[in-house]
Structure formats: C-alpha cells, structure tokens
Amino acid sequence: MTAHSFRRVLVTGAAGFVGYHLSDRLLGEGIEVLGVDDLNAYYDVGLKEDRLSRLRGREGFTFLRADIVETDRLLELARAFSPDVVVHLAAQAGVRSTDPWPYAKSNLNGFLSVLECCRELRVGHLVYASSSSVYGANRSAPFREEDPVDHPVSFYAATKRSNELMAESYAKLHALPCSGLRFFTLYGPWGRPDMAYYSFTRDISEGRAIRLFNGGDMLRDFTFVSDAIEAVVRLLGRPPGDSEVVDGAPTHRIYNIGNSSPVRLADFVQCLESEIGREAVKVLLPMQPGDVPVTYADTNRLRATVDYVPNTPISKGLRHFVEWYRNYHCVADTGLSLPGEVSTQPGAMA
C-alpha cells in the first residue's frame, strides 16, 4: 500500500467511468472516499449503478446522490466529510451535441459550485478534469500545456477551457491549489457506452456497420484508464506550491494525461476487429463538427512532476476492454467475420 499525504477524498462524478476507477483505486489504498453523483441519464444509468454496486459496502466508501450545481447541498456534504482533496470529475460530456444548456449548467455552474465549496472549506488540493479538446484544431504536435488554446471547435471544449480559467482565478484570488487534467481519449473496462470504442465493439459484435468519420483517417492519443488513474493518484499528493509560478498562477498547474502515441482510427478499428474476431462493416463519413484531426499529448510535465507517464499499448488495452465487455454483456466469442467497407454520403446513417 502506498503512503499518501491525504486520507479523505471527495470525488464528484463517482459513478462515472473515471470516478469509479479512481474511487476503486483509492479505497484499495486505504483512503476514505465520499462519492457524489446525480446519476443523470446522459447514458445508461444501469451501468452507473453497476459501477456503484462494486463500491458500496466497501470500508471507507460513502455515496450520496446530489447535483453539484446545488452549491449549498454540496457544501453541506463536503463540510460533514472534511476532505483533504477534492477530485472534480462530474461533467456533461460529448463534443458533438448542439444543445449548449446542459454544458453550461454542469460544466460552468457546477464547476463554480465546486470552486466555492473548496474555497469555503480551504481544501488542500482541487484536482479537476479538463480535456484534450481544449487544444481545438492545434496543428503543432505533440500538444504542450503551454500551447495557445483560444480556438475551441466545440462548446464542450469551450466549457473545459473556461474551467481552467476559473480555476486559475481562484488560485490567484484565494490561494486554492488547483491541478487541471487534460485527459486524452480514455478507454477501458467500465467505460462510457457513448464513446466510439465501446459502440464499435457493440456494433462489430452484433454484425452492425460502424461509422468512421473522416474515413477513419484521424489520429487519437488513446489512453488506457488504469494508466490515467495512476497519474491522477500520484498527482493528488502533489499540489502546486506557492513557489511554482506556472500557467500564470502560483497555485494552479495543468497536466496532459495521455499515452503520447497517437493511433490512426482505422488502425484502432483493425486492432479491435482482431480482439473481437470479427471484421467490421465500415461506413465512411466526412469529418463532423466538433471533431479534430489529431490529438497527441506531450507528457514531459507529468513525467517531471510524478515520474510517470501512461504507456499501455493499444493492443493490450483493447484486449482488457473486450474481455470485460464480453463478460459484462454476456457476449460469446463467435469468431465470425463480416466483409466489407461502404462509402456513403453524410446523413446516410443516423
């Protein structure tokens, strides 16, 4: 068991993909966790409940259903728990939605609520999820934390960049130590079913066509979830100090959390086909609004801070995911194959 400088961690979005894995890891190391989640229906609530079922009853874990936007309620829960660290993972996800209001509520108002809670309780470290999407269509690769990030291509990305600026202001105004984590395309067991790798696995397994935007010619820095969790746990005990004047604020620092090894989407699918034992029927579509052609993390800052960077190869990571998927969904390994690739015009598939 690793020795930590913190003993009590409040995790928002604890029923989510990253929140579940982080809570599981912390509990395994003897850390008390208060999980907060509103269990909204953005995707299957049953999956969120199944994640929680693996945490409930474990020593040191408490779960409370609450909406982070309700500041007074969040403050009441946090004050009773008295966390050393707050990890803020709750958010409205997805880059392609055209409805901005859920993003404004969860990602802007919700984050302000968390900041106010941390300020009021003088929390020792706020660690929050940002996103690689803040880099927009950055043409300079790999992406470095110092790169300009003023041209988001989705409203989701705009809210995540706003979170970074909000955290920086609280770091300056209230000396609140903050670490922002720009996650790069996380995947793995217990993942989100709205993510491409999950829906690809489902559709390939069931013999349905998959849609490849930009003809599959996009590069993604796929990052296995356990690697990301390792980085997060190491960072929890490393709040930026007053002497570290970085990112414009003495107590605010941003980190890329990525594998630093971009994979072409078409090659990713080929690897997935190999693990599933079935060839996908592919529908080739143009680039969609909100998408970017490449994501690629420079992780030198992360390595320098915690002596670790994600490194699981895509073949190993997908093997773990497919094994979990088959077990969770009771899917047999059929070994069947389907031929083909289909070109179509935009909108041909819903």
Using alpha carbons only, give the angle 153, 315, 132 rounded to the nearest 5 degrees.
20
Q: What is the pLDDT along the chain (350 residues), one digit of tens a residue?
A: 457 889 999 999 999 999 999 999 999 999 999 999 999 999 999 999 999 999 999 999 999 999 999 999 999 999 999 999 999 999 998 877 778 999 999 999 999 999 999 999 999 999 999 999 999 988 888 999 999 999 999 999 999 999 999 999 999 999 999 999 999 999 999 999 999 999 999 999 999 999 999 889 999 999 999 999 999 999 999 999 744 555 555 699 999 999 999 999 999 999 999 999 999 999 999 988 877 888 999 999 999 999 999 999 999 999 999 999 999 999 866 444 333 443 333 222 22
User: CB neighbours of 193 closer than 8 A, spacing ≥ 6?
Assistant: 43, 44, 47, 199, 202
Task: Give the model's pLDDT for residue 82.
Answer: 97
Domain boundaries, the chain: 8-189+223-257, 196-219+261-295+313-343
Task: Return the biggest CA–CA distance within the chain.
Answer: 60
Inter-CA distances, 242 with 115, 232, 239, Å? 19, 21, 10
How far apart (Å, rounded) are the C-alpha atoms in residues 289 and 102? 18
Same topology, domains 8-189+223-257 and 196-219+261-295+313-343? Answer is: no
Q: Is residue 60 a contact partner of residue 25, using CB atoms and an 8 Å limit?
A: no
Q: Is 128 a catalytic residue?
A: no
- In three-state secondary structure terms, 247 is coil
Rounded to a whole number of angstroms, the CA Rg of the chain reads 20
Chain mean position to CA 262: 17
List beta partners, residue 213.
285
Catalytic residue among 20, 103, 135, 156: 156
How far apart (Å, rounded) are the C-alpha atoms in residues 263 and 119? 40
Inter-CA distances, 226 with 219, 220, 231, Å? 21, 18, 9
Task: Give the model's pLDDT for residue 342.
Answer: 37
Inter-CA distances, 295 with 5, 186, 219, 256, 291, Å? 33, 12, 6, 11, 10
Task: Give the model's pLDDT for residue 346.
Answer: 29
Give the CATH class of 196-219+261-295+313-343: alpha beta
Strands 219-220 and 341-343: unpaired
Chain mean position to CA 166: 19
- Which tokens belong to 144? 């470095």
- What pTM was computed for the model? 0.92
How far apart (Å, rounded) are the C-alpha atoms in residues 5 and 21? 20
Which CATH number is 8-189+223-257 given? 3.40.50.720
How far apart (Å, rounded) are the C-alpha atoms in residues 26 and 7? 9
Inter-CA distances, 65 with 37, 74, 77, 163, 227, Å? 5, 10, 10, 23, 28
